[in-house]
Amino acid sequence: MSEGGQGLFANFLKLKGGSWGGENAWCGVEASEGEPTTSNGAAAKSAGQPSVPSILNKIKAQRLSDVEDAKATLATTPANLATSLKLHTSPSLISFVDRLKSTPHTAVLAEVKRASPSKGDIAPDTSAPEQALRYAAAGASVISVLTEPTWFKGTLGDMLAVRQAVDSMPNRPAILRKDFILAPYQIDEARLNGADTVLLIVAMLSPAKLKELYDYSVSLGMEPLVEVNNPAELEVALEVGSKVIGVNNRNLHDFNVDMSTTSRVNDAVKGRDVTLIALSGIASAADVEKYVAEGVKAVLVGESLMRAPDAGAFLRELIGLEKPAPAPAQKPLVKICGVRSAKDAQAAIDAGADLIGIILVPGTKRHVDLATARAIADVVRTARSKSERRAPSADPTPLWFGNHAKRLRSRRLPLLVGVVRNQPLEEVADLVDDIGLDAVQLHGDEPQGYARQLPVPTSKVFRVAADGSVRGGQPSRPGLNEFVHLDTQGAPGGEGGGEGIAFDWTVAKRIVDAGEVGAPSSPLPIILAGGLTPDNVAAAIETVGSVLAVDVSTGVEGADGLKDVEKLKAFVKAVKG
């Protein structure tokens, strides 16, 4: 028998007597005039107003029907989902429990919810990934995504988009599938669409079904969030081994909100190794403070966040987090590129260079052979062994480029950067190994995804044309190359750089000021190249703003094409003072 058939048969067996209403009010059919009612008037409802149990039962019946429809679709049959899981096409997991426990403040499960049965439309035009990025940047530990389409106007596509949006964050939020999970099939769907955990509602499941779904979710690596509404349901949740229990302050049988529900259940769970989460109705910092004082570790907030004019600011307000102060301005790092000898490498380091670039593109004028590259690498490593690790900035950025910029600034310096252009991946990986490169600069037309295949951090060059257009991919796209490198689009047939030609720096400023994806207030840190000299580099930095590093080659060379010691010193002084 199908899941839908089982539910239909179970509901039939629950019917009592020969009338609607009364003991059968749960089924959602109103009692006709003259039909008996219970002592609390269960069947006595206003004309045209559906009873609340009818909404819940309709949702359950609809979700069971949705599951059957999905199973019957060729692309999403249970067999195809199972095959996809075996092929590891699902995104990687993080531990829901660990993510909650490692949060240094009250953990927030921030919810993406366009609508609800009780409130109707809340924010129907919301972009799920955009909202999730607001939450994540503000410090949410978990993003809860409603995937029920009829009453909550969500989809599995929303959840996958949310997961993709936050996936590049160094300490990304866990992703919760918030839905009416009634079958193992839905747990497979959740896993394949980026969830780290799923919601299981005790009130909607028999103890046996709850146990089945709980165990199956755990078998896929996802510890579920088990929802209860009273101490009796809590005992059922504990019986199956739940480690994370959410207390819904909204009673699903009448949709009334009682904020003391969490407090009552919390009293019953004290002394157990369970993370308790308060769900529903949380609208103020006072609500959160009350629960935290009672020992609750996390709160789920949906409608209030969705309606907030500034969701990030409101999330921080709920848990008492101050708005992060702007990171203090730091002097850019200096990269001296096109170094062709160990002597020039030492001169650049003595002048104060942080990064030494060597050209590994055969046939170009600054190309160095393997032996020379190794000699330069020895100079860089020796200098680095005498340096100290820098203290990282206090800026707690959760964003891709900002985090990598922070790491770079805190590393022991100098570092050796190998510049390649349109070379086979295997060749580049061999150069990293043979020379001992600390980073790679992709200087050609390599796709950004190339960076994910390399064993060291990667800077991807994007070329700025005379008309202000940018070629080479999507500079602000996170999760691929660690650094964004802006250079001048060279002349046709040229070497694609190192020609001493500047581009319009306001283009770089526009890219910087657009910020990281989902966080326009966080400037995009860039490496700036193209026609820089000791005379113009300070003006370039002032124009652009958030410059992680400046990159120079021609601007510090003499007439013989070799590095000029005085120009090296002048350039570094112009950058660092």
* Residue of higher predicted confidence among 498 and 63: 63
- pLDDT above 50: residue 45: no
φ, ψ at 133 (rounded to 5°): -65, -35
Task: Kindly state the average pLDDT of the residues 195-220.
Answer: 97
Partner residues linked to 367 by β-bridges: 359
- pLDDT above 70: residue 491: no
pLDDT-derived band at 402, boundaries 50, 70, 90? very high
**Vertex 433: Cα angle to 428 and 435 (nearest 5):** 90
For the chain, what percent of residues have pLDDT higher than 90? 72
Exposure of 260 by Cβ count < 10 A (0-12 exposed, 13-18 middle, 19+ buried)? exposed
pLDDT-derived band at 266, boundaries 50, 70, 90? confident
3-state secondary structure of 134: helix
- Identify the CA nearest to 342 among candidates 533, 562, 509, 491: 562
Quote the pLDDT of residue 57: 85
- pLDDT above 70: residue 17: no
Q: Which long-range contacts (CB under 8 A, 24 or more apart) does 462-466 make?
A: 462/486, 462/487, 463/487, 463/488, 463/489, 463/490, 463/496, 464/488, 464/489, 464/503, 464/504, 464/507, 464/508, 464/530, 465/489, 465/503, 466/503, 466/504
pLDDT-derived band at 12, boundaries 50, 70, 90? low
- Provide the mean pLDDT of the chain: 88
Q: Which of 12-21, 108-117, 353-362, 455-464 is predicted with the least confidence, judged by mean pLDDT?
A: 12-21
Which domains, from first to last, does the chain contain? 61-319 (3.20.20.70), 333-576 (3.20.20.70)
* Residue of higher predicted confidence among 195 and 35: 195
pLDDT-derived band at 251, boundaries 50, 70, 90? low
Partner residues linked to 275 by β-bridges: 244
- pLDDT above 80: residue 254: no
Exposure of 6 by Cβ count < 10 A (0-12 exposed, 13-18 middle, 19+ buried)? middle
pLDDT-derived band at 493, boundaries 50, 70, 90? low
User: Are residues 451 and 480 in contact, defined by beta-carbon separation less than 8 angstroms?
Assistant: yes
Quote the pLDDT of residue 269: 76
Quote the pLDDT of residue 500: 80
The alpha-helical segments, DSSP class H, found in 205-277 are 207-219, 231-239, 261-269
CA distances from residue 460 to 58, 164, 210, 266, 418 in whole angstroms, order as listed: 52, 21, 49, 51, 12
User: Are residues 315 and 322 in contact, defined by beta-carbon separation less than 8 angstroms?
Assistant: no
The alpha-helical segments, DSSP class H, found in 242-297 are 261-269, 285-293
User: Are residues 516 and 400 in contact, defined by beta-carbon separation less than 8 angstroms?
Assistant: yes
Quote the pLDDT of residue 230: 85
pLDDT-derived band at 34, boundaries 50, 70, 90? very low
- pLDDT above 70: residue 20: no
For the chain, what percent of residues have pLDDT higher than 70? 86
Quote the pLDDT of residue 94: 97
Structure tokens belonging to residue 215: 């165990």
- pLDDT above 80: residue 49: no
- pLDDT above 80: residue 256: no
Q: Give the E-state strand segments of 84-128 in sequence order.
A: 107-112, 115-116, 120-121
Which residues, 6+ apart, have CB-to-CB distance to 458 below 8 Å?
439, 440, 441, 442, 450, 451, 481, 482, 483
Quote the pLDDT of residue 246: 93
- In whole angstroms, what is the distance from residue 169 CA to residue 484 CA? 16
Side-chain-side CA neighbours of 467 within 13 Å: the count stands at 2
Exposure of 140 by Cβ count < 10 A (0-12 exposed, 13-18 middle, 19+ buried)? buried
Distance of CA 350 to the CA centre of its chain: 41
Quote the pLDDT of residue 40: 38
pLDDT-derived band at 33, boundaries 50, 70, 90? very low
Which residues, 6+ apart, have CB-to-CB distance to 282 below 8 Å?
249, 288, 299, 300, 301, 304, 318
Exposure of 18 by Cβ count < 10 A (0-12 exposed, 13-18 middle, 19+ buried)? exposed
Structure tokens belonging to residue 55: 């909404």
pLDDT-derived band at 53, boundaries 50, 70, 90? low
User: Are residues 166 and 133 in contact, defined by beta-carbon separation less than 8 angstroms?
Assistant: yes
Residue pLDDT, tens place only, 314-346: 999 999 988 877 777 899 999 999 999 999 999
Exposure of 108 by Cβ count < 10 A (0-12 exposed, 13-18 middle, 19+ buried)? buried
DSSP state at residue 323: P
Quote the pLDDT of residue 38: 35
Quote the pLDDT of residue 270: 74
Helix (H) or strand (E) holding 416: strand 415-420
- pLDDT above 50: residue 44: no
My answer on whether omega of the bond before 36 falls inside 30° of 0, hence cis, is: no
3-state secondary structure of 386: coil
- pLDDT above 70: residue 90: yes
What amino acid is encoded at 328 in this protein? P
Quote the pLDDT of residue 282: 87
The alpha-helical segments, DSSP class H, found in 125-169 are 128-138, 156-166
Quote the pLDDT of residue 306: 97
Q: Which of 206-220, 252-266, 525-539 is predicted with the least confidence, judged by mean pLDDT?
A: 252-266
Residue pLDDT, tens place only, 271-307: 788 999 998 788 999 999 988 888 888 999 999 999 9
Task: Kindly state the average pLDDT of the residues 174-188.
Answer: 98
Helix (H) or strand (E) holding 508: helix 505-514
Distance of CA 229 to the CA centre of its chain: 31
- pLDDT above 50: residue 50: no
